[in-house]
Amino acid sequence: MFVDKATITVKAGDGGNGCCSFHREKYVPRGGPDGGDGGGGGNVILEATNSEQSLQALVFNRHYQAQSGPGGKGSNMHGRKAPDITLKVPIGTIVTDAETGELVVDMNEAGMSVVVAQGGRGGRGNPRFATQTNRAPRECEPGFPGEERELRLELKTIADVGLVGYPNAGKSTLLRAVSAARPKVAPYPFTTLHPVVGVMEYPDFARITMADIPGLIEGAHDNVGLGHAFLRHIERTTLLAYVLDMGGVDGRTPWDDLTHLREELDLYMPGLSKRATIIVANKMDLPEAAANLETLRSMLTHELFEIIPVCAEAGELGELKDIIRRAVEARRRSPFDF
């Protein structure tokens, strides 16, 4: 099950209480105060990892609480620091405070870890309150409460290439053809319901990630159909690959599909369609595909799009993988903020 949204409650551990104690020993009539400090409460930590692909693990248990620190004891024995708890989330997870809407952290790097709930400080024992005029204080301090907050987690898939296209354009078939990913494909029209990320591997061991994003329909920017569930996963891709059905199987023309797809992207996030782009002309084995390809090329003579004719079902990809690699590596050399 793919889950890209979750709301969780995290509670850090409370600090342990300080101890009020006095040293008692034979031949030591004035041993003085010897109460230990309480231990600090455990923190709640989020860690970004490649081993998680969705927020599914955080859905079934929505409450996470770290241990409280133990109290201090006599003989100046301080309580230990309570252990932290670490929640692993996929790379690309955005964490916001559910109450204020404030951005807490953007987990965009592998291994990145952030404390989202700070454990309470332990209370001080009575030796901390001793002074020259108060050498036997009977005062100690309770532990401080740990931080508690409700967090909203939203996953935005991070991939080098995002496949954009209408349902039944062949995006899943294309991903199966270029990587070891196995999204569902079938000989009848349907749309993928969640993003699937595959890895393209090259002979020199270079790797490029490609995301099969759920099919886009008109009105997606207004949350029609899968709507924002699709669009937020394309925000972070380096390269957009428009997958067009050149055979017009569903009664649409490829050039109209391209126009509508670009409009939907810009309506959701202005300028999104101007990101580095290639066009994958799929289903070139169909009778109408060759004529439609020529028409599409004539209509895009003023554009800088590179059009790659392929037949993903038959595994005929031409120079697609090499073109994608050149485009992605060019973007890596000259990155910019999206």
Confidence (pLDDT) at 215? 58
* Banded pLDDT at 103 (limits 50, 70, 90): very high
Looking at 91, 123, 155, the residue that finishes a domain is: 155
Tell me the CA distances in angstroms from 165 to 4, 282, 328, one per residue in order: 21, 11, 19
**Domain stops at, among 121, 138, 155:** 155
Listed ranges 59-63, 126-130, 262-266, 271-275; the one with the highest mean pLDDT = 126-130
Top pLDDT among 328 and 195 is at 328
Clarify whether residues 147 and 168 are in a common domain. Answer: no
Q: For 32-55, what is each residue's pLDDT tens digit?
A: 999 999 999 999 999 999 888 788
Question: What is the end-to-end Cα distance of the chain in Å, rounded?
Answer: 29
pLDDT at residue 192, as a whole number: 54
Nearest to 12 by CA among 105, 99, 119: 119
Whether residue 296 lies inside any domain: the answer is yes
Query: H or E stretch including 66?
Result: none
176 with 299, same domain: the answer is yes
Residues 98, 179, single domain; the answer is no
Would 130 be classed as within a structural domain? Answer: yes
Residues 310 and 176 in one domain: yes
Query: What is the structure's pLDDT at 216?
Result: 62
| 138 shares its domain with 165 | no
Whether 227 has a pLDDT exceeding 50, the answer reads no
Q: Let me know if residue 10 belongs to a domain.
A: yes
Number of domains in the chain: 2
Q: How far is CA 247 from CA 252, 281, 284, in A?
A: 9, 9, 7
The answer on 214 and 150 residing in a single domain is no
In a domain, 248, yes or no: yes
Interval 172-188 mean pLDDT: 74
- Give the model confidence (pLDDT) of 64-82 as tens digits: 999 999 999 999 999 999 9
Q: In this structure, is residue 13 part of a structural domain?
A: yes
Residue 338: predicted pLDDT: 42
pLDDT of residue 287: 87
Q: Which residues contact 196 (CB under 8 A, 6 or more apart)?
A: 172, 175, 181, 183, 211, 212
Residue 256 falls inside a structural domain? yes
Q: What is the pLDDT of residue 190?
A: 45
Return the pLDDT at 217.
53
Assess whether 225 and 320 both reside in one domain.
Answer: yes
The domain in which residue 16 lies consists of 1-155
pLDDT of 164 above 90:
no
Please indicate, yes or no, whether residues 203 and 118 belong to a single structural domain of this protein: no
Going by pLDDT thresholds of 50, 70 and 90, the confidence category of residue 235 is confident
Euclidean distance between CA atoms 335 and 332, whole angstroms: 5
CATH number, domain containing residue 276: 3.40.50.300
Query: Do the domain assignments include residue 81?
Result: yes
Instruction: Assess whether 183 and 120 both reside in one domain.
Output: no
Report the CATH number that the domain containing residue 137 is assigned in CATH.
Answer: 2.70.210.12
Q: Same domain for 188 and 308?
A: yes
Q: Region 298-323: what's the mean pLDDT?
A: 87
Residue 337 pLDDT > 50, yes or no? Answer: no
Q: Give me the residue label for tokens 């409370």.
A: 14
On whether both 128 and 223 belong to a single domain, the answer is: no
Residue at a domain's end among 155, 172, 199: 155
In a domain, 338, yes or no: no
Same domain, 243 and 201: yes
**pLDDT mean over 238-256:** 87
